[in-house]
Chains A and B, each alone.
Chain A
Amino acid sequence: MWEYTDKVREHFLNPRNIGEIEDPDGVAEVGSIACGDALKLTFKLDENKRIKDARFKTFGCASAIASASALTEMLKGKTIEEAMKITNQDIANYLGGLPPEKMHCSVLGQEALEKAIEHYRGISHTKPDEEVICVCFGVTEGEIEQTVRQNHLTTIDEVTNYTKAGGGCKNCHEKIKAIIDRVYAAEKREERPIVKPKLTNLQKIKNIQEIIEHEIKPSLKQDGGDIELVDIVGNRVLVATRGACATCQASQATLKGFVEWKLRELVSSEIVVEEVSL
C-alpha cells in the first residue's frame, strides 16, 4: 500500500472541480490510457484576466486524481503569469508530498497546465522535430530535459518516477543518462546557482536526519567521532558531539566546516548547525 498523505487521501476521496468547462479559454489533454494516466484540464478567465474556474477529468490512480484536484484549486484566482509559475513540485507540496514513484502524477498536472496556457495564447505545442526518447510511454527529449532541470534529477530511476520515461522496455536508458549528463554539463558551464526545490518542514527534517545518518556519521566515525541530532528548529540544526568529537579542540571547525557545509549543500543554504550539550 502506498503511503499517501492525509491531504492526498482527502483530495482523492473528495476531489474538487471535476468536469469540463463549456467554451473554455484554455484546454489541454495530456497522457494516454495506454500509459495508465490521462488528464483533461479546462479553465476560464474572468473580466480581470484571472482564472475564474478550472476543471479536470482524469483517468488514473489516487495520486493522479489528487494532483489534478490540487492543481485546479491552486489555479483559481491566479493570472496567467502567476499560473505559469506553478511547478510540479508546487503541486506535490500542496498535497504534503507524493511517494517518489508517483511524482509523475504531479508532472502530468504541470504538463496539462502548460499546454492549456499555450492553447489560450494560441501557441501550437507540437514540435514535430523533437525526438521521442521513451517509445513505451511516448516521452520526448524536451519533456525529459525540462523535468530533469526543474527537479534536479540525477538518476534514471528518478527520471522514470517523474516522467515514466524508461519504465517499460528500458531500451532508452542510455539516452536518458545522456540527457542528464548534458543538463548538468550545461549547468556547470553556466555556473548557475542550483535552486533547490522548496521543501516542506517534514521533508526537510527527514532529509537532515538521513544525511546525518548516512553521510555525516559514517565520515566522523572514521576518526572515532560522532554526533547526535538533538532537535531541528526552523533552519537551526541542534546537535550534540559524541566520541572523539566531544573532546576534540577542532570539533567546532568540524561542525561548521563539514556538518553545516554538507547540510547546506544537500538540504538548504540557510541551515545553521549549533552545538548543544546534553
Chain B
Amino acid sequence: MKTIYFDNNATTMVAPEVLEEMLPYFSQYYGNPSSMHRFGGQVAKKLHEAREKTALLIGAEPDEIVFTSCGTESDNTAIMSALDVNPGKRHIVTTRVEHPAVKALCEHLSEKGYVITTIDVDSDGNLDMDQYEKSLTKDTAVVSIMWANNETGVIFPVEKAAQLAQEKGIIFHTDAVQVIGKMPVNMKNNVVNMLSFSGHKLHAQKGIGVLYIRRGTRFSPYLIGGHQEKGRRGGTENTPAIIGLGKACELAGRNLARENGHVRALRDRLEGEIKKRIPNVKVNGGRSPRLPNTSNISFEFVEGESILLLLDQYGICASSGSACTSGSLQPSHVLRAMGVPYTMAHGSVRFSLSVYNTSEEIDFVIDTLPPIIERLRDMSPYWTADKAVCANP
C-alpha cells in the first residue's frame, strides 16, 4: 500500500539530496572538526558552509547560528539563558497555545517560583495583543511566543510583539519550528533576540536543531562543555546532521515559492472539497493568516482517533487533537484555548502537507474521507439520519 503522508508538521521525509550530502560524513569523512589535522579540518570547512547556508535561509549572520540537538533544546536553551542573564527578574510571558517544548518548561518554572503570564487567543486562534502589551512589566525576564501554531498553522504577529518587548528591554524568543522553510523569514527585518527551529521539519534528519542568537543578545549556555559553537553549546558537533541541514536549508530557500504556490493550492483544494462533500465541518483557524501547508478540520460528532485509524487503513497519515490520541483525557490545549466546542474538538484532524505531496494524493483523500466520516456518524448516538442531535453538549 502506498503511504500518503499528510503529517509534515509532525516530521518530514529526509530529502534525497540531503541524504546524499550527508552520507560521506558518516564513515568516510568522520573526522572531528575541532582536530588539528587536515582530516578533521576538511569537515570543519564543510560545517562552516552549512552554517552559512542555514544563516542565509533566515537572513542571519553565520555567527548568529548555534546548532543544537532539536527544537526542544533550542527552546529550553533560549528561555533558561534569558532567565540566567536576568537573575533579578521572575516573570515570563508566553501563550496558551505553545508547543510542550515551551509550555511544559514554563509550567516547570512556575513550580520553581517564576510567575508565568499566558496570553489568550480568540476563537480564530489569534493572539490577544492588548493583553500581551499590558503583560510586559519591569519584572519580565523573557517573552517566548511561537511564530506559528503547530496544530492550526495560525501565524502570530511575532515581529510586532518583539518590537514591543524591545521597547521595554525584554529578551524576546520565538519558537519558529513550524515556520522556517514554509514562509520567508528575514532576521534583518525584525528585532527578535532568539529564534528556534528544527531540521526534521524541513526535510533534514531528526536530532538537529538551531538556535539563532542575535549579535549583542546577552547569552548564557545551557550545555556546558567544550568550546564548540563558540562556547555557546558544548558537545562534539553532529557533523552529518549539520551538513544535511545546510543542504535542507538551501533547498527550502529554493522551495519557498513552491510552498506558497503549489502547497497552498493543494491545501486549499483539500479544505474546499472536504467542506463541499461533508456536512458539519469547520476549519479551525481558517479565517486567520495561516501557514500554507496546514489544515485543521473538525468533523462534528465523531472522534478523531477513530478517523485516524480508519484513514490509516488506506495508508493516509494525519494527526488529531482529540483526547484519545494524546493519552490525556482532554482534547488539545490549543483547540480548548480557542474555545472550540467539545462536539468539534474531539473530532479534529490535522492535515499538514509538504512540497512532495501531489494533486493525485489530494484526490484520493477527498474520495476516501467522506465514507469514513459517514460510517462513524452512523454509529454515533449524537447523529441521526441527516441531522445532528446533541444530547448533552
Contact = CB atoms under 8 A, between A and B. Distances in A.
A18 interface: yes
Contacts of B302: 59
5 closest A-B pairs by beta carbon, nearest first, are: A167-B329, A61-B324, A61-B305, A57-B381, A40-B381
Given A36-B331, A36-B346, A40-B381, A65 B391 contact: no
A228 to B, nearest CB: 34
B27 interface: no
B379 A58 contact: yes
Contacts of A56: 379
A225 interface: no
B189 interface: no
Interface size class of B (residues with CB under 8 A): 20 to 34
B301 A62 contact: no
12 contacts: A18-B378, A33-B391, A34-B392, A36-B331, A39-B381, A59-B346, A59-B382, A61-B306, A61-B325, A102-B324, A137-B329, A168-B329
Contacts of B306: 12, 60-62, 65
B222 interface: no
Contacts of A65: 306, 379
Nearest to B328: A167
Given A33-B390, A36-B324, A65-B306, A59 B301 contact: yes
A49 B342 CA distance: 40
A136 B328 CA distance: 13
Contacts of A102: 324
Contacts of B393: 33-34
A59 to B, nearest CB: 5
A102 B390 CA distance: 24
A87 interface: no
Interface size class of A (residues with CB under 8 A): 20 to 34
A168 B336 CA distance: 12
Contacts of A12: 306, 309
B322 A33 contact: no
A38 interface: yes
Interface of A: 12-13, 15, 18, 29, 32-40, 56-62, 64-65, 101-102, 136-137, 160, 164, 167-168
A37 B325 CA distance: 13
A168 B328 CA distance: 9
Contact of A33 (B305, B328, B329, B392): B392
A34 B340 CA distance: 11
A76 B378 CA distance: 22
A38 B328 CA distance: 17
Nearest to A36: B323
Interface in B268-326: 301-306, 309-310, 313, 322-325
Give the dominant DSSP class at A's interface: mixed
Nearest to A59: B380
Nearest to A165: B329
B216 interface: no
B330 interface: yes
Contacts of B382: 33, 38, 59
B113 interface: no
Contacts, number: 82
Given A34-B393, A57-B379, A168 B301 contact: no
B329 A164 contact: yes
A82 B342 CA distance: 37
A62 B309 contact: yes
Contacts of B309: 12, 62
Contacts of B330: 36, 136, 167-168
A217 B331 CA distance: 41
Contacts of A64: 303, 324
A33 B301 contact: yes
Given A33-B342, A33-B346, A59 B328 contact: no
B87 interface: no
Contacts of B328: 167
Nearest to B380: A59
A60 B342 contact: no
A13 B379 contact: no
Given A36-B303, A59-B303, A101 B390 contact: no
A116 to B, nearest CB: 14
A32 B392 CA distance: 6
B126 interface: no
Given A32-B392, A33-B390, A38-B382, 18 more contacts: A13-B310, A18-B378, A18-B379, A29-B391, A36-B322, A36-B329, A36-B330, A36-B331, A38-B391, A58-B379, A59-B380, A59-B381, A60-B306, A61-B306, A64-B303, A160-B329, A164-B329, A167-B330
Contacts of B310: 13
Given A32-B392, A60-B303, A65-B306, A13 B380 contact: no
Contact of B305 (A29, A32, A35, A62): A62
Contacts of A160: 329
Contacts of B322: 36, 61
A101 B327 contact: yes
Contacts of A29: 381, 391
A33 B379 contact: no
B137 interface: no
Contacts of A33: 301, 342-343, 346, 382, 390-393
A206 to B, nearest CB: 20
A116 B310 CA distance: 30
A274 to B, nearest CB: 40
B313 A13 contact: yes
Contacts of B301: 33, 59
